[in-house]
Structure 1
Amino acid sequence: MTAVMSRLEALRQRRLDPAVKMAGINEVYNRLREPEAVTYLVSAMQPIDPEVTQLILAEANRVRDPLRGAYPSAGVNASFDRQGSVTNDTHILAFSDVDLLAVNENFYDVETVQPGATYYGNDTTADMRRVRTSSVQILRQQFPTARVDDSNSVAVKIEGGALRRKVDVVPCNWWHTDKYVRSREKQDKGIKVFNNATAERIPNKPFLHNARIDERDNRVGGNLRRVVRLLKSLRYDANTRAGSNKCQSSLLTQTGGCGMFCSCRVNYASSTPGRLIMS
C-alpha cells in the first residue's frame, strides 16, 4: 500500500504546475473514489491538462521569437518546427521540455537523386555550425539570467531565468524523402539533426512518428495514447523512487522512438495490432 501511495503521490506532483491554478480541478485522481492502485492506473492514462500543455508550447515560442528576429543579421536562414512527446500528446510531465527545431533553409537532403534537384556548393557543416553558434549567442543575449547549455552534441538547452520550461533548440535541415517528393505531405518530410561533435547529420522522421500515433490511436479509440502514458508513468515513477527519472518511452517507429533523445523504447508492433513491446 505504501508503494502504491508513493507512486500516486509522485503522479500528482509531476502532473501539476502550481502556477496554473485551475489545472488540478480536472485531474481524475481528484474525482475517483476507487482503491489507490485503480486511481493511479486510470489517472496515469490521462493527458496532461491542456492549459499546462499550452504553457509548454508557449515557452518554446518565447525562445523561437528572438531567434527568428536575430537569425538574419547573423547570416542564418532558418525556419522552426517542433518534435517530441508534447507534440503528440504522450507527455506525462507538467514541466516537460520541448524540442524546438531550427531548420536550416539553405539546403536540403534527398533520399535518392530527384529531378530538378541541384547540388549545393557551400559547406553544409559550416552552415549548420553557424545555426548552432548563432543560437547560443542570441539566447545568451536575449535571456541573460537563463542557463544556456552548449555541451550537448545535438541540442542547445536553455532553462531558468524568465523561462518556465526547458527548451532544446535542435539545429537540423530538411530531408526530402522519396515519399515526400511524391506526396508533398508534411508527415513524409524528414529532418537531419546536426551532431556538432561529429559533424554528422542524423536522419529522423518526427512528423511521420506523430502521424502514425494519430492513425493507430484513432484506430483503437484513443487507447494507444492512454497505454503509452501508462507505460511511461510506471517507469518514470519507479525510476523516481530509485533516484532516476530519465524515462522518455514512446512508440518505436522507424525513426527509433519518440525523438532523438529517447533512452527507453516502447515498440508498437504493426504486424500484431494492439501489441506493445517495451525494451
Structure 2
Amino acid sequence: MAKNYKQLTESIKRQLNPENFVLRKSFSDELATISYSDVLTYIRVAMKGVEPEYTQKSMEAGEHVKEHLSNKLSNIVFRYQGSVMTNTHIKGFSDIDLLTISDKFYLYDANNVKAIISNPEKSSQYYQSSIDKLQHEISVSPYQGNPINDLRILRFDSEKILKEIYDICDTTKPKAIKIKNKSLNREVDVVIANWYDDVISIINNKGDYRGIQIYNKTTDNRENPDYPFLSIKRINEKSTETNGRLKKMIRFLKNCKANSDQNIDLSSFDINAICYDIDVSEYKTLSFYELVPILYNQMKSIC
C-alpha cells in the first residue's frame, strides 16, 4: 500500500512539537515555503530534532528528581543517559533516564588489567604512563563492603523517597523506577547503578570512558557493563564533524521505524550503531535528501 507522506509528515510534526510550542521562526518559515514533493517534505521533517523547549521540560523533570533524591541520600552521583543527551529523540512524550550511581565503590576489569601487567608481551603494547595507571588500579585497597547490598538498599531507599513525592511511581520494573511529573507532563526513569572501569577507561583517566553496571531488582544482581557516556560523546563529536548529518540520519531511521506497519526489531542503540558505522566521507557534504540512499546502502550491506 502506498504511503500517504503528507499524513506521515503531520504525524512527525506532532511528535516534534507535541505541546504546540511556537516553532522556531527559521524552521517554520522553511516549511511554509518549501516546494518539495510530499516525500521530500517527509524526509526533511523526519530528520528534524524535537523542539528545544520540549526537551528543556524533560530535563527539568529530571532535575526535580535529582533534587529530591540528593536531599535524602548520600554517596551518590547523577548522570543522564539516552537519546535526549544526543538530541536524537523523536517521540513527543519520550522519557529521560536519570542514572543514580553509588559512589561508595566502583568495580574494574581486574582480570584483564592483571593479564596486561603480568605479561611482558602485552605490556609492551602500552605506553609506560598507561602501565602506571593500571598498576595504580591494582594497588588500591579493595572495597570492604557488599556492593550488591549497597545497590539493593539504594534502590529500596530511592523507591521510598519517590513514592512519597510522586502520585505516579512504578517500582515494578527490574531496572528502573518510573515516575511521572504531572505538572511538567514528563516521565523519568531512575536507574540504580555502580561505576565500572575497563582497561580503556583506566588508561584514558576514566571520565566519559567510564562504564556502569545497572542494578536489576528482579535478579538482585548487576547487569553486564555498559558505556553510555562514551556512546554519547562519540555521537555528539561525529555529528559535529558532519554538521549534524549523523543525527539527521539517526532521527530519520527512528521515524521510519515508528511509522512503519512492520515490526522492526531495532533498538535505539542498534540505529545509532548503524548510522555511526557509515564512513563520514560518504555523506559529510550531502544534502538532507541525499542521505537517504546512503542509509539504504548501509542497511542493504548489513542485511
TM-score range, shorter chain: 0.7 to 0.9
Deviations 1:221-255 (A, max 9, x none): 3211110100000111225xx7x8997524x4xxx
Distance 1:31 1:49 in 2: 20
Tell whether 2:88 aligns with 1:96.
Answer: no
Match of 1:68 among 57, 67, 70: 70
Paired residues of 1:29 and 1:40 also in contact (CA < 8 A) = no
Instruction: Please state how far the C-alpha of 1:148 moved relative to its aligned partner.
Output: 0.9
Indicate the residue corresponding to 2:107 in structure 1.
109
Q: Name the CA shift for 1:42/1:271 in 2 (closer, same or farther; >3 Å).
A: closer
Match of 1:269 among 242, 265, 277: 277
Instruction: Please state how far the C-alpha of 1:59 moved relative to its aligned partner.
Output: 1.0
Distance 2:56 2:32 in 1: 22
Identity of aligned residues (%): 26
- Relative to the length of structure 1, the TM-score reads 0.82
Instruction: Please state how far the C-alpha of 1:218 moved relative to its aligned partner.
Output: 3.0
- Name which of structure 1's ranges 159-168 and 131-140 shifts more when overlaid on structure 2: 159-168
Unmatched 5+ stretches in structure 1: 259-264
Match of 1:196 among 217, 222, 226: 217
| One-letter amino acid of the counterpart of residue 21, structure 1 | F
**Greater gyration radius:** 2
Deviations 1:105-161 (A, max 9, x none): 110011225233222122211110111111111111122x2x111111111111253
Instruction: Please state how far the C-alpha of 1:214 moved relative to its aligned partner.
Output: 2.2
| One-letter amino acid of the counterpart of residue 268, structure 2 | S
Instruction: Please state how far the C-alpha of 1:187 moved relative to its aligned partner.
Output: 1.8
Indicate the residue corresponding to 1:37 in structure 2.
39
Paired residues of 1:232 and 1:249 also in contact (CA < 8 A) = yes
Paired residues of 1:110 and 1:175 also in contact (CA < 8 A) = yes
| One-letter amino acid of the counterpart of residue 180, structure 2 | E
Q: Name the CA shift for 1:139/1:5 in 2 (closer, same or farther; >3 Å).
A: same
Distance 1:21 1:215 in 2: 28
DSSP-derived class of the 1:90 partner: coil
| Count of residues paired in the alignment | 258
Match of 1:139 among 150, 162, 186: 162
Instruction: Please state how far the C-alpha of 1:93 moved relative to its aligned partner.
Output: 2.1
Higher relative contact order (CA 8 A, sep 6+): 2
Paired residues of 1:157 and 1:169 also in contact (CA < 8 A) = yes
Distance 2:228 2:208 in 1: 8
DSSP-derived class of the 1:37 partner: helix
Paired residues of 1:17 and 1:23 also in contact (CA < 8 A) = no
Distance 2:152 2:56 in 1: 31
Instruction: Please state how far the C-alpha of 1:195 moved relative to its aligned partner.
Output: 1.2
Indicate the residue corresponding to 1:6 in structure 2.
7
| One-letter amino acid of the counterpart of residue 16, structure 1 | N
| One-letter amino acid of the counterpart of residue 187, structure 2 | K
Q: Name the CA shift for 1:163/1:49 in 2 (closer, same or farther; >3 Å).
A: closer
Instruction: Please state how far the C-alpha of 1:273 moved relative to its aligned partner.
Output: 6.6
Match of 2:143 among 101, 120, 126: 120
Q: Name the CA shift for 1:249/1:205 in 2 (closer, same or farther; >3 Å).
A: same
Unmatched 5+ stretches in structure 2: 114-136, 283-294
Distance 2:64 2:177 in 1: 15
Instruction: Please state how far the C-alpha of 1:94 moved relative to its aligned partner.
Output: 2.9
Distance 1:91 1:131 in 2: 29
Paired residues of 1:56 and 1:95 also in contact (CA < 8 A) = no
Indicate the residue corresponding to 2:230 in structure 1.
208
Distance 1:70 1:46 in 2: 40
Paired residues of 2:197 and 2:206 also in contact (CA < 8 A) = no
Higher relative helix content: 2
| One-letter amino acid of the counterpart of residue 189, structure 2 | D
Distance 1:212 1:234 in 2: 23
Higher relative strand content: 1
Q: Name the CA shift for 1:184/1:39 in 2 (closer, same or farther; >3 Å).
A: same
Distance 1:3 1:152 in 2: 37
Root mean square deviation of aligned Cα: 2.7
